[in-house]
C-alpha cells in the first residue's frame, strides 16, 4: 500500500507539473522569431490593412467626442515658403538669429547631419518619408547620404556630392575615419561601412561592419543614431548594448534599456544622453546606461512636458483637441522630441555650453533644457518657463536634429515637411488625416533646410569651422585651447588627409580624436615625411618629429589600456607637450 501510494503521488505530481507548463505556454503564446534577412537584403514587414487611426475617444479619431466642435470647412492650401520668407517667421530669444546653411533642392527631407574631422558635413536625406497620406513607397530605395564641403573656408558649403545613394530610409550616419562612414537601412540588421577610396566625394567601397542592430517596426519606431562617445563605445537608441571597434572585430557589451528613440548625444564629461522620442522627454541620463536602468520620480519639473509653440492655428495634432491648445491651435503636450544635443561650441554665449537642446517637430519648437543637480540626482527644467528657445509661425518648420558644428555654432536640421506623423496614424477616419486634407499639408514634400544659429550681428570668422585644411600643425595648441568641444573633437582627427592605413580614431576626454589604443593621430598626408603614426602590425611607428608620447616608441599598444589614459598629446614648434586630463 505504501508503494502504491508513493507511485500515485509521483504520478499526480508529474501530471500537475505537465499541466502547469502547458498552461504557462498557452498563456504566454510566444511569437515565432522574425527571420533575419541575409546581408545586403532588406526585410519587408508583412502587408497590413490600411491604418484606421487610434480608437477609444482620446482624440485620434475624427469622430471622437472631444473633436465634436471642430470646423472641418475646406481651407486654402498652405503653401511652402522660400528660405528667405521662412526666416521672417522665426521667434528667437534676444540677440540670436538664424542663417541659412543649405536648402532644397540641394537637400531634401534631411533628418540628421554629422561632421568628420575636416568639417565636411554628411546629411541623411530620407526622401521616401510620408510622400502621401498612405505612406506610398516608404521603403523604396530612393534615400541617400550626401556630402557637403566648404572648399574656400568662407563658412559656406560650395561642393556637393552624393556619398551613398539608393538607400532604404537610412537610420544614421557616423563618420568613421578618412572618407569613411557607417550607416544602416530600415528593416535591416546590418551596419555597413562605406569608403571613398579616391577622394572624389562618392563612396566606392562597401563592407559589412557589424550586424544585429535592427528591429522591425514602423520607420519611426526603429533604432536611430550610432554615437561614437569618448569612452570609445558606440551607442544607439532602443538597443540594450553598446559596440566598440577593435582591430580584431566589433565587441558588444550589454547595457540597460536606454529608452531612447530619436537621439543620442554626450556632454563634455562623456555622459550619454538619450532622447525618448514619442514621450517627448530625455531618457537614460541619470547614470551611465552601462550600469543599468535608473529613473527617479520628479526628474522633470512639473510643467516640463508642456510646449509653448507659436500660434499655428491649424491644430494638426495626431491626438486631436485633446492635445491642442486653443484658440491658437498649438501643441499643449509634447508628443515627439528628436535630435538632442549638448551644446559644446565656442561661438555662442557661454551659458549655452553644457545645455541640452532638442527639437519638437510637431510643436515646431527647439527647447533649451537646463540640468540641475539635486543631491546627486539630475532634474531637468525648461530654460525659458512658459516660452521656448526657438519657435516658428511657419507650420512646416520641423526641427528634427540639433548639432554642435565645427565652426562653434549650432546647426538645426529642418525637415520642412507637411506630414510629420507616420502613416499608421493618418488612416481613413483619423483626426490627423482630416486636418491634412483640410489644408493640403500632404502637398509639401521634397523640401528641407539646415540653419546655423549665431549670436550678435557679426559674421562667423573666416577660416575656422567648415574647413578642409590640416589642423595638426604648430597651431594645434591654439585649436585645443578653444572652448569648443566639437573643434577639439575633430582636431588631429580622422581627416581626409590622414593615412588610410591608420586604425579608426576614438574621442578622448580632451575631445580630440585618438587611436583605439589612446594615441593622438595627426591629420597629415601619408606622403608627408612627418606623417602621423601609422599602423604597422601591432606597433606604432613614431617619427622623430610630430606627435609624440611619454611611452617608449617601440612598446606594444596592448601594454596600456585606452580607457586608463585620458590625455591630449600634441606638438608645439619642436617641443612635445603632454597634458593629462
| Cα–chain center distance at 500 | 26
How many residues appear in the chain? Answer: 581
Q: Which part of the chain is CATH 2.120.10?
A: 92-118+216-452
One CATH from 1.10.472, 2.30.30, 1.10.357, 2.120.10 for 92-118+216-452: 2.120.10
What is each CA distance from 16 to 5, 19, 25, 101, 316, in whole angstroms? 16, 5, 14, 70, 56
C-alpha cell at 181: 562612414
What is the pLDDT, as a whole number, of residue 154?
A: 84
Pairwise CA distance, residues 458 & 521, whole Å: 34
C-alpha cell at 417: 515637411
Whether the CB-CB separation of 448 and 126 falls below 8 Å is answered with no
Strand 534-536 versus strand 324-325 pairing type: unpaired
**107 Cβ neighbours under 8 A, 6+ residues apart:** 123, 125, 146, 448, 449, 450
Is the pTM higher than 0.95?
no
What is the pLDDT, as a whole number, of residue 480?
A: 56
Specify the DSSP class assigned to residue 74. -
What is each CA distance from 342 to 119, 357, 402, 441, in whole angstroms? 18, 6, 9, 32
What is the pLDDT, as a whole number, of residue 145?
A: 98
- Region for 72 from its dihedrals, namely left if φ exceeds 0, alpha if ψ lies in -120 to 50, beta otherwise: alpha
DSSP 493-541: SS-TTS-TTSPPEEE-TTSSEEETTS-B-----TTSTTPPPEEETTEEE
C-alpha cell at 524: 597629415
Whether the CB-CB separation of 282 and 275 falls below 8 Å is answered with yes
In a 3-state reduction of DSSP, which class is residue 405? coil
In a 3-state reduction of DSSP, which class is residue 329? coil
What is the pLDDT, as a whole number, of residue 183?
A: 98
Nearest to 342 by CA among 300, 289, 404: 404
Mean pLDDT by 10 residues, the chain (581 residues): 42 42 36 36 38 49 94 96 98 97 97 95 97 94 97 90 98 96 96 97 97 88 93 94 95 93 92 89 92 90 95 93 94 92 96 96 97 94 97 97 96 97 91 96 97 83 43 50 59 40 36 35 36 34 36 39 35 32 29
Pairwise CA distance, residues 347 & 407, whole Å: 8
Question: How far does the chain reach from its first CA to its final CA, in angstroms?
Answer: 80
Pairwise CA distance, residues 355 & 385, whole Å: 15
Specify the DSSP class assigned to residue 237. S
Amino acid at each position: 500500500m505504501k508503494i502504491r501510494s508513493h507511485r500515485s503521488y509521483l504520478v499526480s505530481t508529474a501530471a500537475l507539473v505537465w499541466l502547469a507548463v502547458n498552461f504557462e505556454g498557452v498563456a504566454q503564446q510566444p511569437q515565432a522569431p522574425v527571420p533575419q534577412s541575409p546581408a545586403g537584403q532588406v526585410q519587408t514587414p508583412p502587408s497590413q490593412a490600411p491604418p484606421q487611426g487610434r480608437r477609444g475617444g482620446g482624440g485620434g479619431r475624427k469622430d471622437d467626442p472631444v473633436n465634436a466642435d471642430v470646423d472641418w470647412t475646406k481651407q486654402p492650401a498652405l503653401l511652402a515658403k522660400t528660405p528667405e520668407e521662412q526666416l521672417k517667421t522665426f521667434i528667437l530669444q534676444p540677440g540670436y538669429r538664424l542663417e541659412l546653411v543649405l536648402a532644397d533642392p540641394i537637400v531634401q527631407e534631411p533628418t540628421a547631419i554629422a561632421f568628420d574631422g575636416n568639417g565636411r558635413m554628411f546629411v541623411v536625406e530620407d526622401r521616401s518619408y510620408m510622400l502621401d497620406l498612405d505612406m506610398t513607397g516608404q521603403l523604396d530605395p530612393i534615400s541617400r547620404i550626401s556630402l557637403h564641403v566648404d572648399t574656400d573656408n568662407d563658412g559656406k558649403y560650395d561642393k556637393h556630392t552624393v556619398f551613398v545613394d539608393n538607400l532604404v530610409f537610412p537610420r544614421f550616419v557616423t563618420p568613421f575615419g578618412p572618407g569613411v562612414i557607417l550607416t544602416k537601412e530600415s528593416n535591416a540588421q546590418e551596419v555597413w561601412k562605406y569608403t571613398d577610396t579616391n577622394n572624389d566625394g562618392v563612396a566606392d567601397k562597401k563592407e559589412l561592419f557589424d550586424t544585429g542592430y535592427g528591429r522591425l517596426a514602423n520607420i519611426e519606431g526603429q533604432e536611430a543614431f550610432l554615437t561614437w562617445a569618448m569612452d570609445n563605445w558606440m551607442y544607439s537608441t532602443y538597443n540594450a548594448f553598446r559596440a566598440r571597434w577593435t582591430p580584431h572585430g566589433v565587441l558588444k557589451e550589454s547595457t540597460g534599456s536606454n529608452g531612447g528613440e530619436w537621439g543620442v548625444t554626450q556632454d563634455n564629461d562623456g555622459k550619454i544622453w538619450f532622447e525618448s522620442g514619442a514621450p517627448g522627454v530625455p531618457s537614460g541620463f541619470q547614470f551611465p546606461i552601462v550600469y543599468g536602468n535608473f529613473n527617479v520620480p520628479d526628474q522633470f519639473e512639473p510643467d516640463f512636458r508642456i510646449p509653448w509653440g507659436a500660434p499655428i492655428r491649424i491644430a494638426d495634432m495626431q491626438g486631436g483637441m485633446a492635445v491642442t491648445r486653443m484658440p491658437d491651435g498649438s501643441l499643449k503636450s509634447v508628443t515627439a522630441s528628436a535630435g538632442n544635443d549638448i551644446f559644446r561650441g565656442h561661438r555662442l554665449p557661454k551659458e549655452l555650453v553644457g545645455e541640452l537642446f532638442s527639437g519638437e517637430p510637431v510643436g515646431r519648437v527647439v527647447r533649451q533644457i537646463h540640468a540641475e543637480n539635486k543631491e546627486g540626482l539630475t532634474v531637468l527644467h525648461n530654460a525659458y518657463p512658459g516660452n521656448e528657445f526657438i519657435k516658428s509661425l511657419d507650420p512646416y518648420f520641423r526641427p528634427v536634429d540639433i548639432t554642435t558644428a565645427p565652426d562653434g555654432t549650432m546647426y538645426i536640421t529642418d525637415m520642412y515637411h507637411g506630414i510629420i506623423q507616420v502613416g499608421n496614424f493618418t488612416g481613413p477616419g483619423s483626426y490627423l488625416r482630416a486636418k491634412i486634407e483640410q489644408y493640403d499639408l500632404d502637398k509639401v514634400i521634397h523640401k528641407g533646410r539646415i540653419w546655423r544659429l549665431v549670436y550678435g550681428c557679426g559674421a562667423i570668422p573666416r577660416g575656422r569651422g567648415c574647413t578642409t585644411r590640416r589642423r595638426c600643425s604648430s597651431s594645434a595648441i591654439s585649436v585645443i585651447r578653444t572652448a569648443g568641444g566639437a573643434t577639439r573633437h575633430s582636431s588631429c582627427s580622422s581627416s581626409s588627409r590622414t593615412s588610410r592605413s591608420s586604425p579608426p580614431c576614438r574621442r578622448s576626454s580632451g575631445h580630440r580624436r585618438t587611436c583605439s589604443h589612446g594615441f593622438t593621430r595627426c591629420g597629415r598626408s601619408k606622403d608627408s615625411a612627418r606623417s602621423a603614426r601609422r599602423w604597422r602590425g601591432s606597433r606604432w611607428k613614431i617619427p622623430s618629429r610630430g606627435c609624440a608620447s611619454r611611452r617608449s616608441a617601440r612598446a606594444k599598444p596592448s601594454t596600456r589600456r585606452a580607457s586608463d589614459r585620458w590625455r591630449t598629446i600634441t606638438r608645439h614648434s619642436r617641443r612635445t607637450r603632454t597634458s593629462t586630463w
